[in-house]
Amino acid sequence: MEIKGKKFLITGGAGFIGSHLCERLLKEGGKVVVLDNFRTGKMANLQAVKNSIKIIKGDIVNVKIVRQTVRGCQIIVHEAFPYGVSGMGLNEQYIKTGTVGTFNLLRSAVEQKIKKFIFASSVSVYGIPKYLPIDEKHPIDPFLPYGATKRAGELYCSTFFKLYGLETVSLRYFYIYGPRYSVFDHSALVNFVNRSLRKKPLLIYGSGSQVRDYTYIDDAVEATIMAIKKDNLGGKVYNVSSGAPVSILELAKKIKQLSGTESKIQSARDKQYRYVPFCQVPVGMTGRKAGRWTDERNYTADLSLVKKDLGYFPKVSLENGIKKTIEWLTTQPK
């Protein structure tokens, strides 16, 4: 599908991924409408393109606003979800945004005869990995409400393809990072970069041998653009990652080296942190307390399918991605 001349609706367009995607679509000749409730999105993220796009403040849970915004668009890229503030607490799950909001968009897409619908899913749908690397046929067994909500979105997408013929594609992003990320992000990489520049200790939870597959924002955007351009992908699901796993301890060492920080790398096992057994968070625990648990999961993606179908090959190495992120963060107000 040609991007030039097409009108795109980007939900969550003022957020981390959405704002980068807006810039890329404009460069490719697309027209962009952003729908964002600005819970976590920022107008500052759209500073470079605000005069070239249409920005609507509204919530995807409101079907009336969704219908009005979708009108006249050809493609929807659904990135809206307040991930940066979604935690372990029962009051931090944003189920309506992830389910009702997604349904509203799909419903409106069918009503308005939208050509393609791209859904931002997540590695969290897999739950605790049964094997590595994780391919798209891996069992789906989310253990966090966030993952369950993303899985519900995937199911809605595949159902709308089978029932109504709406061409939907779900992208399971693996740990995206880079300029404009939220300082509230749960990512160890984001946390380490922030702390290193503030000369605070880089805290290691658990053994530090946990493996993660971090994806630089430019690669995530590239995969999304490829999914838009490629035809006949209805109902498909793809992993999107760097394909270059790193342990949490090695990550801390790399960030310490690249940032030139005086920060020490140390265990978080002290009186400040309250440990509970893995995946056993007592009911009622919310916010930061609910996040203080040892996570020993390992995640690395098998990219065979996305390489085969879309021609996606990640280009930004972890080292270069961290350098770019540090450069960006040092230019931000304290």
Model confidence, pTM = 0.91
Active-site residue flag, 205: no
- CA dist., res. 151 & res. 34, Å (int): 24
We report the CATH number of the domain holding residue 223 as 3.40.50.720
Dist CA 313 CA 4 (whole Å): 23
Bigger pLDDT: 147 or 207? 147
Helices (H) and strands (E) in the chain, counts: 11, 13
Res. 117: pLDDT tops 50: yes
Does a structural domain hold residue 264?
Answer: no
The helix (H) or strand (E) run that includes residue 27 is helix 16-27
CB atoms near residue 245 (< 10 Å): 20
Q: Which candidate, 24, 40, 33, places its Cα nearest to that of 65?
A: 33
User: What are the backbone dihedrals phi and psi of residue 294, each rounded to the nearest 5 degrees, phi first?
Assistant: -80, 125
* pLDDT surpasses 50 at 286: no
In a domain, 174, yes or no: yes
Q: Locate tokens 């493996």: which residue? A: 211
For residue 104, being part of any structural domain is answered with yes
Kindly report the average pLDDT of the chain as a whole number. Answer: 90
* Local confidence band at 284 (pLDDT 50, 70, 90 cut-offs): very low
Predicted confidence (pLDDT) at residue 56 exceeds the cutoff of 90: yes
Decide if pLDDT at 272 tops 70.
no
- 212 band by pLDDT with thresholds 50, 70 and 90: very high
Residue 256 lies in a domain: no
- State the Cα–Cα distance between residues 171 and 102, nearest whole angstrom: 14
Contact present, 135 and 305 (Cβ < 8 Å)? yes
| Dist. CA 294–CA 140, nearest whole Å | 22
pLDDT of residue 296: 66
Considering the candidates 94, 126, 156, 312, report the single residue annotated as catalytic: 156
Q: Is residue 137 part of a domain?
A: yes
User: d(Cα 17, Cα 81) in Å, to the nearest integer?
Assistant: 11
Q: For residue 186, tell me if it sits in a domain.
A: no
227, part of any domain: yes
Residue 206 lies in a domain: no
Collapsing DSSP states into helix, strand and coil, what is residue 38? Answer: coil
> pLDDT tens for residues 173-199?
999 999 999 765 568 898 999 999 999
Domain count for the chain: 1
Residue 281 buriedness (CB in 10 A; 0-12 / 13-18 / 19+)? buried
Average pLDDT of span 162-180: 97
Q: State pLDDT tens for residues 222-247.
A: 999 999 999 999 999 999 999 999 99
Alpha helices by DSSP H, listed for 214-317, are 217-229, 248-259, 287-290, 304-310
Mean pLDDT throughout 326-331?
Answer: 92
Instruction: Provide the pLDDT confidence category of residue 327 given band limits of 50, 70 and 90.
Output: very high
Boundaries of domain holding 129: 7-179+215-243+300-315
